[in-house]
Amino acid sequence: METESEKATIGQEIGKAVLQGAALGILLGIAFAGGYLFNHLTTQANSSEISLELIREADSLLAQYYLYDLPGEDVRIHGAVRGLVASLEEPYTFFVEPQAAEVDTTNLAGRFGGIGAELGRDEEGNFVIVRVYRDNPAYEAGVQAGDIILAVDGVEVDTSDPDMNGVLSAIRGEVGEPVVLTLQRGEEVFDVEIIRAEILLPSTFWELVDEDPRVGYIQITRFTERSPEEVRQAIRELQEQGAQAYILDLRNNGGGLVDSAIGVAGEFLDGGVILYEQQANAEERVFNAPRGGSAVEEPLVVLINAQTASASEIVAGALQDRGRATLIGQQSFGKGSVQRIFPLSDGSSLHITNAQWFTPEHHRIEGAGLTPDVVTEPQEGVDVDMTAALDVLDESLTVASQPTG
């Protein structure tokens, strides 16, 4: 999903207020009372002092009378913040705990200190190495795809965690520092020490299409800080290999950084509007593409589906409205709101919806999505979108090659 990562004092103040006001916190994330209390608090206009006192009272009563052991202070405080945010009943304003916030930040940056391996889960729920990137620390240490991660630096991994943020956060760290993984390979269990290096997390993959080497295929999985430069590199290399047209694949791309999306769209446009942004009680902002994109004339098709969302919808919507590309696939997700990220004092973060987007023709993305120019019906085992894209581009290239006069 897209974000405008900004360090803001208001975010720090929010974190400070929650930490100080909640004292030891309250049991909001565990009992239904949490959602009720904070919903009640947020309806009291200009009553912050009363609200903070109410939190203290509730916490004191819980400490005095609750039958069972209370969760740790950080768990209760985070539960309090989640209860506050949940009262808004808006899915894209949410609280992210420290470990997940750290992983999200490094992913969006596209670079971090790590080992150069992709993690996943097997059918039993184990954390496993899915892919090892060549010429990276894990590869050089002999780690293999299929290895099961049992522990990191002697601490057993918790397979009950619903996501991989805890494991990822433990494996990542300062460049040059060691990390010890306890791995299982078949029946063998062993430790391997790996020295972390800077890992560049690619967001863009490209190649000439086997069925038609005149066509360059560019896939963007997420919009990170490095995406615009990766797309420029992709176009440059594909042009050197003879590409005369392009397929930009944004299927299953859930978004990322807005600035990166604008930069990518600008590679296929020679100036002009990319999107409009509307904030509450503010004038509409216009975002324009810079002049001199690297592929502004070649035939272009953009692939989208129901998981194409947010920043990827910005790119697809701009290229469609500007008449630059043919959209092929299925209706996109329809997330056109903007979230600012406010880092909080304990390393967590608060994502707050504060604006929404419109395409160059002022089509609203939020709740509507984008309608492809060519609608396809997915078929198991067949990439109908690619087939349709190659048909469209073959026609465009044929027309372009015909003599005029």
- In this predicted structure, what is the pLDDT of residue 199? 79
| Residues in a beta bridge with 248 | 218, 302
335 has catalytic annotation:
yes
Q: What is the pLDDT of residue 91?
A: 81
pLDDT reported for residue 22: 36
**Catalytic-residue membership of 312:** no
What are the structural domain ranges in the chain?
Answer: 4-89, 111-200, 204-399
Torsion from C-alpha of 378, 222, 239, 326, nearest 10 degrees? 40
- 144-171: pLDDT as tens digits: 999 999 999 999 998 887 777 788 888 9
- Within the chain, which residues score under 70 in pLDDT? 1-51, 99-112, 401-405
Q: Which of 51, 335, 337, 348 is catalytic?
A: 335
Write down the pLDDT at residue 403. Answer: 65
Q: Choose, from 5, 310, 337, 348, the residue flagged as catalytic.
A: 310
Q: Which two tokens stand for residue 95?
A: 């609280």
Residue 78: the pLDDT is 81
In the residue annotation, 5 being an active-site residue is answered as no
Task: Classify domain 111-200 by CATH architecture.
Answer: Roll (2.30)
Give the active site residue among 59, 104, 321, 385. 321
Q: What pLDDT is stored for residue 311 in this prediction?
A: 93
Over residues 291-300, the pLDDT tens digits come to 889 999 999 9
- Which CATH superfamily hosts domain 204-399? 2-enoyl-CoA Hydratase; Chain A, domain 1 (3.90.226.10)
Task: Write down the pLDDT at residue 112.
Answer: 65
